[in-house]
Amino acid sequence: MAFLELERIRKRFGDLVVLDGIDAAVAEGETLVLLGPSGSGKTTLLRILAGFETPEEGRLRVAGEDVSALPPARRNFGMVFQHYALFPHLDVGKNVAFGLAARGVPAAAQGSRVAEMLALVELPGFERRAVHEISGGQQQRVALARALAPSPRVLLLDEPLSNLDPALRERTRRQLRAVLRRVGITAVWVTHEQQEAFDVGDRIALLDGGRLQQLGTAAELYSRPASRFVADFVGQASWLGGRRVAAGEVEVAPGVRWRVAADAGAASAGEVAVMLRPEDACLVQPATGVLAGRVRASRFTGHATEVEVELDDGTRLLVASHEAVPAAGSLVGVEPLAGRSSPRAFAPAGGDGGAP
Amino acid sequence: MSRAPRWAGALLALVLTWLVGYPLLVTLAESLGLPAGLDLSSFAEFVRRPDEWQAGWHSLWISAASVALAALVGIPLGFLFARHEFPGRRLLGSLVILPIALPPLVGVIAFLFLYGESGLLTRVVQLGLGLDEAPWRLNGPGAILLVHAYSLYVFFYLFTRAALARFDASVLEAASALGAGRGYTLRRVTLPLLAPALVGAGLLTFMTALGSFSAPYLFGGGFRVLPTQIVASKLNGELAMARVETVMLAALAFLGLWLVRKLDVDRHAVAGGARGIAPSRRRLQSRGARLAATVAGWGLAVFLLLPHLTLVLISFVPPVSWTTELLPPVLGLVNYESLAATPERLRPVFNSLWMALAATAGALLLGASAARLSLTLRGRLGRWLELLLVVPWAIPGTVFAVALALTFSVRAAWMGRFVLVGTLWILPLAYLVRSLPVTGRSALAGLRQFDARLEEAAASLGAGKVYTWRRITLPLLAPALAAGASLAFITTLGDFVTSIVLYTYDTRPVSVEILSSLRLQDTGVAAVYGVFLMLVSATIFLVWGRQEGV
C-alpha cells in the first residue's frame, strides 16, 4: 500500500528540465533512496517533497491526501539537511525542541520529548551543549533528533553523511539506519554513493538527467539493470562489443559465443554491447572458442584478485580471480560463469541504454 | 530566503533614488545650466579663478599626504599588534581604533585644546623653554595633516591586522626553509602579499581625507580645500560656483568609488576566510625588544588619548579662571551645571539625540530592506539597490549637504522637489541618507553570512514565517544590525559637516553649538559638549559597534 506517492513530477529551471515526469511510490515505514550522480535531479526532487521548490507539473500524496499545494511548514515532513542547518544561537535542547515549540507544545512535554529523542540518537543529557561544541557526527544526530521530535509523517534526508569523514561515515550510517527502523518512519534519503544506497535503502530510485532510470531493490538494480547507465552506476562492469546470433546467444569474438542472461536478449539480430561483471567471469587456459587476451595488471583486493585483461582489439575486461594469477603479459582465456546475472546484452553504445 | 516581490524592490529603489541619486543629479544638471540650456560658463569661471582650482589642488595633495602619514603610523602599528605579544595588547588594541568612532569635530577641538596656541602641551613647551610666545601655531596644512594622520591611520591599522591574520604561516616557513632572512622575507614575501590590502586602506584613507571638513574648517584659515570652499561659496551666495565645486568634488569621489569597487576593497577588511594557519603571535624573546614594544604600545595609546583627556580636563575648568598658568588653577563642575541649568544649552543635546535616533531608525529600516531585496532580487534592480546603498558612503558629506540644500529649496512637486530647507525635516533626512550605507552595508554583511537553509530547516519543523523570523532570522542578524545602527547613530550624533550647511536655529545640533561656544570663548561649555559626544560615541561603539573587521 503506497503511503507517499509521487505522480509525474516535472520541474524546470529556465530552459533546463531538471525533473522529467517522475513517478514513484513509497510504502509506509519504507526507506527509499534517491541515487544518482550530481546534476541528476535527486536533491531537487527532495526539495520538492519538502515543499521548498514547486514543480511545474505533478502531484504529491501522503496517505491519500494531496499535499502538493501545502507550504513546507504545514506538510509535517521532517528534514535532515546536508550541512545539518542546526540553529547556531540555540543549544542542542532548544534545537531539538524547536519544532515542538513552533507547534505550541507545552514546555514540560517538550522537555520529555527532547530527552526521549536525544536518548534515541544516543546523546542523552546533551540538552545544554552548544551546537558548535559537539563533533560533526554528534551534530548529525542532533539534526536527526530535531527532525524526528515533532513526529513527522515522512523524513527527508539530504546526503546526511557527506560531511563526515569516511571512518565516521560507516558507523553513523549504521546508527541512522537503526534509528529509522526503530521509529518505523517512512523516509526518503538522497545520496550519490552506491554503497550507502545499497546499505540503507529498502528500495532505490536511480536518477540520471532528471529521469528515473530504474526503481527497485538493490539486488534488482545490480543483477537486472535496466540500462547501460544503471549497469555502470551500480557495481563494476566491463563492456565488449558483440553480435547477436540467436535468442540469448551473442558472438563476442570470431568463433566465441556467450549465452547472455535470458531476459536481456530479444530475438532480433544485430550489434549489441555486452556487459560482464568481474565476479561473473573466470580465467581459463586459452583455447578455441574461448575469448583470449593478455594480462595487463592485477590488483589484490582482499576477497579476490582483480585482473585486467586486454583483448586483441584493445578492449579491457576486469575479472575477479580466486586463483593464482598469471604474470603480466601472459596469454589467458576469459569465460563467463554459468547461472550468473551477467553477461547481459544491451543496445550498443550511443543509444540511450534502454532495453536491448 | 524567500523571494521578495519585484514591486517592493521597485518601490524601494524609487524612494532611495529620490533620496540619494536625485539631489546629485539635480545639482549636476543645474551646474550645466539645464534645463534652460547648456551653459558651461560656471565651469569656465572655476578654471579662471586661481583660488578655485587651488582649492582642488589643495584637496588632492592634502589627501595624498594624509595617506602617506596614516600609512606611516598605521602599518607599523598593525604589525606590532598582529605579530607581538606584550602586556596590555588587548586593551590597547580596542583603544587604538577609537579615533574612527569619535566625531571628527570632537577630535579637532581636542587637538585645539592640546596643541592650540593656548593648548596644554603648547604651554608646557612655552614655559619649559621660557619663550615669550607659543612655539607653534596650529593652523594651515600642517595642522590639518596632523589631525588627519591622527584619525585616519585606523584604516591602515585595521587592514594590516586583518591581512596579517589571514596570512598563511607556512608561506613564511617556506621562505625561511629556502634560506631567506627576515628582511628578505619581509621585502619579497610579506609586503607583496599585503599590497592589495594596503592599496585598499590607502584608497579609503584618500577618500575620507578628500571629504574631511572639520579640520580644514577650523584650522585651515585662508588655506581652502574643496569641501570648505563649497561651504564658503554657498554662504557668499555664489550658488553657481558652489554647484560647480560640488560637481568637481563628487566627480573625484565617484572616481574613488569606482576604484574601490574595481579593486574589491571590502574583501581585505575581513580577517576570515583564511586558508592555512596564521602565524602565531611571537612572545618577544629579548628583554629589550619586549620593553620597546610595551613602551611603543603604551606611548602610542597615551599620544592617542591625550587630546581627549585634555578635552575632559578643559570641561572642568571654570570660565576665565585659567590665564597664564601651566595647569588650570581651579577645577569644578561649573560648566556642567551651567549646561544643565540652561534650557537653551540643553536644546542642542536634545536635538542631536532625537534627530540621530530618527535618522538611525529610518536608515536601519530602509538600509536593511534594501540589503535584503538587493540579495533576493537578482538582476539590474538588485544591483541598482546595492549601488544606492554604497554611493552616500563615497560622497563627501559636504557634497550631499549642498546637493540636498539646492534641491530641496525649490517647490516643484511634479519634479519631486519640495521646500525642506529651513524646516525640521531637512537635517534628519540628510542624516538618514548619510547613514544608509552604514546600516545597509552591515545588513548586507549579516545577510551574506546568514545561512538561508536555517529558514528552510525552521519551515520543515513546522514553523510559520513570523515564528521563523522572530526565533531564527532576527536573532542571527541582530549583531550585524546592531553594529550598523550604532555606527549610524554615532556618526549622526556628532555630525558637523552636514549640519553646518543645513541646520536651523530650532534644529541646531551639538556640533554646531560647540562651534558657537568656541566663538564666544566659552571653551568650558564647548568641552562639556565634546565630552558628551565622546562618551556616548565611545560607549555605543565599544558595546555594539564592533563587528569583525569593521
Distance CA A299, CA A296 (A): 11
Q: Do B459 and A78 count as a contact with CB atoms less than 8 A apart?
A: no
Give the number of A-B residue pairs with CB atoms closer than 8 Å. Answer: 65
Q: Quick one: which of B11, B171, B155 has its CA closest to B69?
A: B155
Q: Chain B residue closest to A85 (CA)? A: B454
Query: Which chain B residues are within 8 Å of A150, Cβ to Cβ?
Result: 461-462
Q: Measure the CA–CA gap between B244 and B394, rounded to whole angstroms.
A: 18
Say if residues B494 and B537 touch (Cβ distance below 8 Å): yes
Whether a cis peptide bond, with omega within 30° of 0, leads into A286 is: no
Q: Measured between CB atoms, does A76 come within 8 Å of chain B?
A: yes
Residue B476 C-alpha cell reads as 542571527
Per-residue confidence band for A264, with pLDDT thresholds at 50, 70 and 90: very low
Q: Which residues does chain B have within 8 Å of residue A160's beta carbon, measured at their own beta carbons?
A: none
Q: Do A79 and B457 touch (CB under 8 A)?
A: yes
Q: Residue A330, class by beta-carbon neighbours within 10 Å (0-12 exposed, 13-18 middle, 19+ buried)?
A: exposed
* pLDDT for residue B10: 86
ipTM: 0.79
Name all domains of chain B by residue range, CATH numbers in brackets. 1-34+335-550 (1.10.3720.10), 51-226+284-328 (1.10.3720.10)
Q: Chain A contacts of B476, Cβ < 8 Å?
A: 87-89
Please tell me the distance from the alpha carbon of residue B247 to that of residue B40, in angstroms, as a whole number: 13
Instruction: Assess whether pLDDT exceeds 90 at residue A215.
Output: yes
Interchain pair B462, A74: CB under 8 A? yes
Does A13 lie at the interface with B, CB-CB under 8 angstroms? no
Average pLDDT for residues A191-202, to the nearest whole number?
Answer: 91
Q: Give average pLDDT by consecutive 10-residue segment, chain B, 550 residues.
A: 70 88 86 77 82 88 94 89 79 80 87 86 86 82 89 88 78 76 82 84 88 89 88 86 88 86 66 48 69 80 83 88 78 87 90 94 92 83 85 86 86 77 85 89 85 90 90 89 89 90 89 90 90 90 62
pLDDT band at A267 (very low <50, low <70, confident <90, very high): very low
A76, A98, A156 member nearest B458 (Cβ): A98
What's the pLDDT score for residue A92?
Answer: 94
Q: Confidence band (pLDDT; 50, 70, 90) for A113?
A: very high
Per-residue model confidence (pLDDT) at position A354:
40
Say whether residue A102 is in contact with chain B using an 8 A CB cutoff.
Answer: yes
Cα torsion at B241, B244, B245, B246 (round to 10°)?
A: 120
Summarised one tens digit per residue, pLDDT across range A43-75 is 999 999 999 888 999 999 999 899 988 888 889
Q: Does A3 touch chain B (CB under 8 A)?
A: no
Q: Select from A81, A100, A156 the residue whose CB has the most chain B CBs within 10 Å, as the one to mutate to test that interface.
A: A81
Helix (H, G, I), strand (E, B) or coil at B139: coil
Per-residue model confidence (pLDDT) at position B273: 39
Q: How far apart are the first and last CA of chain B?
A: 25
B253-260 contacts at long range (C-beta below 8 A, 24 or more positions apart): B253/B207, B253/B210, B253/B211, B253/B394, B253/B395, B253/B396, B253/B399, B254/B394, B254/B395, B256/B203, B256/B206, B256/B207, B256/B210, B256/B394, B257/B207, B257/B390, B257/B391, B257/B394, B259/B203, B260/B200, B260/B203, B260/B204, B260/B207, B260/B394
* Cβ–Cβ below 8 Å for A102 and B461: yes
Give contacts of A98 with chain B, Cβ < 8 Å. 458, 461, 463, 471
**pLDDT surpasses 50 at A146:** yes
Residue B3: per-residue pLDDT:
55
Question: Which residues of B fall within a CB distance of 8 Å from A89?
Answer: 475-476
* Helix, strand and coil percent figures for chain B, each rounded to 5: 75, 0, 25
CA–CA separation, B28 and B286 (whole Å): 61
Rounded Cα gap, residues A34 and A13, in angstroms: 20
- How close does chain A come to B455, measured CA to CA in Å? 9
**A186-191 β-sheet, strand order:** A77-80, A154-158, A186-191, A31-35, A203-208, A211-216
pLDDT at residue A154 greater than cutoff 90: yes
All residues of chain A having their beta carbon less than 8 Å from the beta carbon of residue B471 are 98, 101-102
Instruction: Write down the pLDDT at residue B365.
Output: 92
Do B460 and A83 make contact, defined as CB atoms within 8 angstroms? Answer: no
Closest approach of chain B CAs to the CA of A24, in angstroms? 22
Tell me: the pLDDT tens digits for B45-87?
888 888 888 888 999 999 999 999 999 989 988 888 887 777 7
* Single-letter amino acid, residue A210: G
CB < 8 Å & 24+ apart, contacts of A120-124: A120/A145, A120/A148, A120/A179, A120/A182, A120/A183, A121/A145, A121/A175, A121/A179, A122/A175, A123/A92
* Domains by residue range for chain A, with CATH: 2-230 (3.40.50.300), 236-346 (2.40.50.140)
CB-nearest to B460 from A72, A88, A103 is A72
- Search chain A and give the residue with CA nearest B452: A85
Q: What is the pLDDT of residue A356?
A: 37
Q: In this predicted model, what pLDDT tens digit does every residue of B136-170 receive, in sequence order?
A: 888 889 889 988 988 889 889 888 888 887 777 77
User: Dihedral (C-alpha) B493, B497, B498, B502: value to the nearest 10 degrees?
Assistant: 110
At residue A265, the pLDDT reads 45
Pairing of strands A186-191, A31-35: parallel
- Give CA–CA dist B172/B158, Å, rounded: 21
Distance separating alpha carbons of residues B542 and B93, to the nearest angstrom: 12
Tell me whether residues A50 and B460 touch, CB distance under 8 A: yes
Indicate the range of A1-10, A341-350, B392-401 predicted with least confidence: A341-350
Confidence of residue A100 (pLDDT cuts 50, 70, 90): very high
Contact between A150 and B461 using a beta-carbon 8 Å cutoff = yes
Which chain A residues have a beta carbon less than 8 Å from that of B456?
A: 50, 52, 72, 79, 81, 85
| SS3 readout for chain A | CEEEEEEEEEEEECCEEEEEEEEEEEECCCEEEEECCCCCCHHHHHHHHHCCCCCCEEEEEECCEECCCCCHHHCCEEEEECCECCCCCCEHHHHHHHHHHHCCCCHHHHHHHHHHHHHHCCCCCCCCCEHHHCCHHHHHHHHHHHHHCCCCCEEEEECCCCCCCHHHHHHHHHHHHHHHHHHCCEEEEEECCHHHHHHHCCEEEEEECCEEEEEECHHHHHHCCCCHHHHHHCCCCEEEEEEEEECCEEEEECCEEEECCHHHCCCCCEEEEEEECHHHEEEECCCCCCEEEEEEEEEECCCCEEEEEEECCCCEEEEEECCCCCCCCCEEEEEECCCCCCCEEECCECECCCCC
Pairwise CB contact (< 8 Å): B461 & A146: yes
Residue B346 host element (H or E): helix B343-376
CB-based contact, A156 to chain B, within 8 Å? yes
- CA closest to A79 among chain B residues: B460
pLDDT (average), residues A275-281: 90
In chain B, residues with a C-beta closer than 8 Å to the C-beta of A81 are 453, 456-457
